[in-house]
Structure 1
Amino acid sequence: MNRLKNWAKQLKRRLFVLYFAYQDERVPWYAKVFTACVVAYAFSPIDLIPDFIPILGYLDDLILVPLGIFLALKMIPEPVIADCEVKAEELIKNGKPKNWVAGAVVLFIWVLALSWIGVWMLQR
């Protein structure tokens, strides 16, 4: 159980590193875009797949977010990561930011999808 807790803490720390890295000018544009998407999704109060859906609801938290963090860290230069790790340690002590814009986008996607399903069902 301690191993799992340590893994979760490391993921959280790396997410904060990415939060600072996507704002850094030394990061290539494609890495910034990908990293911003990963950070926005992870900090979003709304999941793409809601947690109340059995099994699938937690798959995004267990697979997509860690995979996104891993890939984003591979795209960022090491000196940037080192600088951002220092900033991340300070941020962890103060609390994580929320990305309400990303949450609104995900909510909008869900509303569109449910509306489309509703219209489709009414036509049947």
Structure 2
Amino acid sequence: MDVNTDGIGFGYISETVRIVPTYEGADGSAPASIVAKLPVSVDFPEYLKPWSAQAVETELHFYPEASGDCAARVPRCYGAAFEGWRSYALLLEDLSDLESMSQMEWGRRDRADDMVAMVGALLALWW
């Protein structure tokens, strides 16, 4: 198994890594790579721990429970586990082969219209 952090991300709450598993006897439908979100090794101040736990737990419930109803293309969830703000894992479909936009591209008129439509459809789902 290869674990690669290049071009993925490191945030305040989670570190995101790309895992390239090696399979034995796989039928070809197994993913070539998986994105894993894991806890960062930073120790939060006490007053931020409940906030970080809630943020992580919300995300861990979204992918397996609500993402199928989402209007936007979101990664498929391969697994999610939560045992507190310092012990969790989220395994997602690797969508790195899809087009992504920088913040500068979002400012273009043709892209802005697409983004407003997608955000509107996403928000309408839960209103």
TM-score (norm 2): 0.28
Relative contact order, higher structure (CA 8 A, sep 6+): 1
Greater strand percent: which structure? 2
TM-score (norm 1): 0.29
